[in-house]
Amino acid sequence: MKETVLEQEILLLKGLARNDKKSTEEIYKQHYNLIQALVVNNNGTADDARDIFQEAMVVLFEKARSGTFELNCQIKTYLYSVAKRLWLKKLQQQSRFTEEWNDAGSLVRVDDDLEAHEQKDQDYNLMHHSIQHLGEPCKSLLEAFYFKKKSMQEIAEAFGYTNSENAKTQKYKCLMRLKKIFFSQYKK
């Protein structure tokens, strides 16, 4: 019996790593209420719960993607441990304290993962900020090429460049500018 639960969880994590909607939905369905209870019982709102759960899901997503998820614990325990740490931190930041910690779940050590997550989160925000400050048409151009994986020919047509060589030159310049903005903050 235990074997099958484990196998199921491995499948779910593989799906999660691919951003497969079914797997993500399954994990969401199974564990959301537990995390919401944790947050709501400890001085939080339903909106807080949603934020905390989704951030914990991002941590799990990264863990699954890196392929280092060792199944020495269940997804449930992992999510619960991460969410608890995230929520405690948020409470501290807002100087809101919960007098008595209402704790039900079992815990595993997640320090390293959270530290890595914090760095990644900062990088994410910096990238977001850099892209927002890039201006048009650079923003759309880079998004079309790197995120939507459009070809240079398609981009040239969509943005009105005479040929894909021109679009390529423009893309290069935009990329250099984005790198300049990103790295001017990154080193600090």
Partner 1 sequence: MHEHDNILLTEAVERYISGEMTPDERLHFENLRKADSEIDQMVVTHTLFMQRMNRYNEWQKFHASLNEIHTDLATQGTIDSPARKGKARLAYLYNRYKRVASIAASIAGLTALLVSAILWSVTPKSHNAQIETLSKKFSSLENKSRKQAEEINSLKNSHTPDPKTPEITYSSRGTSFMIDSKGLLVTNAHVIQNATNVAVASNTGTEYFAEVVYTDPVRDIALLKITDKDFKPLPPVPYGFSRKMADLAEPVFTMGYPREDEEIAYTQGYLSAKTGFNGDTLSCQIQISANRGNSGSPILNNEGDVIGILNGRQKDQEGVAFFIRSKNLYNILNEVKGKGKTDTTIQSVKLNTKSSIISLNRTQQAKKIQDYVFMVKVS
Q: d(Cα 123, Cα 120) in Å, to the nearest integer?
A: 5
User: Which stretches of the chain bind partner 1, using CB under 8 A?
Assistant: 19, 21, 24-25, 28-29, 32-33, 36, 46-47, 49-50, 54, 57-58, 61, 65, 120, 123-124, 126-128, 131-136, 138, 140, 144, 146-148, 157-160, 168-170, 172-173, 175, 177-184
Whose Cβ is closer to partner 1: residue 76's or residue 182's?
182
In the complex, least distance from residue 107 CB atom to partner 1, rounded to whole angstroms: 23
CB of 132 to partner 1, least distance (A): 6
Looking at residue 67, its amino acid is G
Nearer to partner 1, 60 or 110 (CB): 60
For the chain, give the number of residues: 188
Nearest distance in Å: CB 9, partner 1: 18
**What distance in Å separates the CA atoms of residue 125 and residue 135, rounded to the nearest whole number?**
17
Query: d(Cα 151, Cα 135) in Å, to the nearest integer?
Result: 21
Closest distance to partner 1 from the beta carbon of 2 (Å): 26
Radius of gyration over every alpha carbon of the chain, rounded to an integer in angstroms: 21
**Cα of 114 vs its chain's centroid, Å:** 12
85 C-beta neighbours (distance < 10 Å), count: 19
Q: Which CB sits closer to partner 1, 36 or 81? A: 36
- Residue 97 or 186 having the CB closest to partner 1: 186
Among candidates 152, 149, 147, which has minimal Cα distance to 131?
147
Question: In whole angstroms, how close is the CB of 111 to partner 1 at the nearest point?
Answer: 21
d(Cα 185, Cα 179) in Å, to the nearest integer?
Answer: 10
Nearest residue (CB) to partner 1, 72 versus 119 = 119
